[in-house]
Amino acid sequence: MEPAMNDGFEFAEIGRATVRDPDFVKRLQSGEIAESDCDHCRRCIAAMDAGGAHCVCDEMEPITK
């Protein structure tokens, strides 16, 4: 996100990253991680129609913490 902000962008979208890992921002700030492991498959968007936002990938491959 920092390079984008330095290039003049006013914000960065992190929606799917927080769907994948609700603690994403905290883990990023603490230095535990440097980026999201969201693969941007967008299956979470389709899943919203079926009952709320959740990472469909969690059902297949759990996040390693």
Angle of CA points 20, 34, 61, to nearest 5°: 35
Query: Residue 60: what pLDDT?
Result: 56
This prediction's pTM: 0.68
Query: Residue 65: what pLDDT?
Result: 46
Query: Residue 24: what pLDDT?
Result: 93
Cα 15 to the chain's mean position, in Å? 6
Determine the 3-state secondary structure of 63 from DSSP.
Answer: coil
Express each pLDDT in 12-59 by its tens digit.
Answer: 888 889 999 999 999 999 999 999 999 888 888 888 887 778 888 866
